[in-house]
Amino acid sequence: MLKRNRIEEKESEYHFPILIAEDNPVTRKLIGKILMNAGHEVVLAENGIDALTLFNEKFYPMVVTDWIMPEMNGLELCKAIRSRINQSYVFIVLLTAKDSKYDIITGLEAGADDYLTKPFNKAELLARLKTGIRILELEASLRKVNEEITILSRTDPLTGCYNRCYLNERLPIEIKRAERYRRPLSMILCDIDHFKKVNDKYGHQTGDLILKEFVRCIKRSIRNPLDALVRYGGEEFLLILPETNLSDAIRVAKRICGTISKHAIKVQQNEIYITASFGVTSFENDSHRNDFSADNLIRQADRFLYQAKEEGRNRVKFG
């Protein structure tokens, strides 16, 4: 019978929950008490099967397991955990009375990171877990740095919205999803009217401020993070709207158009008003077009944007 015994987490600088697999109730309780007093969150399992069940329900970055257990032993548990694609690394300590060199090698080859023989010393157990914590913290910090680098590589440094690199990744995915599930997908291409004149009159610093304010206005009108705002060109921006049909996309574009035209951008003692033009296109779930591609979708949105410019700007054209 599967038992889940949770031990309350105390204040600690560490935040890695530990899964304990131990069939001996006295040893299991002792390990739990030691780790609880050290400030860890601990979950206890009576054998390898129960431990793997708990691991499948919730990810545990640290596992302490006995070697000899009924139903599934510690080596089998190690191999099962290593065979999974986990969200991050799992530090595994194998706990057993087996202490020959052959046994140690066997345990490490099965996937254990460290080895502790019974009867174990409390200080040694905590020291080995601290080694695991340092490894997990290093991995977490490296993962965070990599995530930040990825975000920077896909983000426009001035406005904070996505860039063309992100567009090239995201749009084909959304198109495939819309085609596969016959779901609507819309796109809005917008351009700030007479932006060059604004730059010439007020300077590039003011122009940069206007671009930032323009993006803020748009972001307040879309569903973050479902919708995606991309800086497509200098003052040209593209909106990807999944699960949005043409009529809804037109409403979004008109709402943004109206908001932009009424929004005062304060620059020193001046209030600057701008307008923008919008081209809207859509893939509907009941259409059967053969030209549905990223290039064609952008080309259609650009054609309607051009019409909006030709007809006087500060308006939305669609089709």
Q: Which two tokens stand for residue 284?
A: 């509907």
Q: Write out the E strands in the chain.
A: 5-7, 18-21, 42-45, 62-66, 91-96, 114-117, 185-192, 228-231, 236-242, 265-267, 270-272, 276-283, 316-318
290-302 exposure pattern, b = at least 16 Cβ within 10 A, e = fewer? eeeebeebbebbb
Give the bridge partners for 186, in sequence order: 241, 282
CB-side exposure of 290: number of CA atoms within 13 Å?
Answer: 0
User: How many Cβ atoms are within 10 Å of 166's Cβ, its own excluded?
Assistant: 21
The rounded distance, in Å, linking the Cα atoms of 274 and 55 is 55
Look up residue 39 and give its DSSP letter: T
How buried is residue 106: exposed, middle or buried, by Cβ count under 10 Å (0-12/13-18/19+)? middle
Phi-psi region of 272 (alpha: psi -120 to 50; beta: other; left: phi over 0): beta
* Alpha carbon distances (Å) from 237 to 60, 96, 262, 285: 42, 62, 19, 25
Q: Could you say which of 235, 236, 271, 310 is catalytic?
A: 235
- DSSP class of residue 84 equals S
SS3 18: strand
**116-134 burial string, b = 16+ CB within 10 Å, else e?**
bbeebeeeebeebbeebbe
Kindly state the helix (H) or strand (E) to which residue 210 belongs, with its residue range.
Answer: helix 204-219
Is 235 labeled as catalytic in the residue annotation?
yes
List, by residue number, the catalytic residues: 235
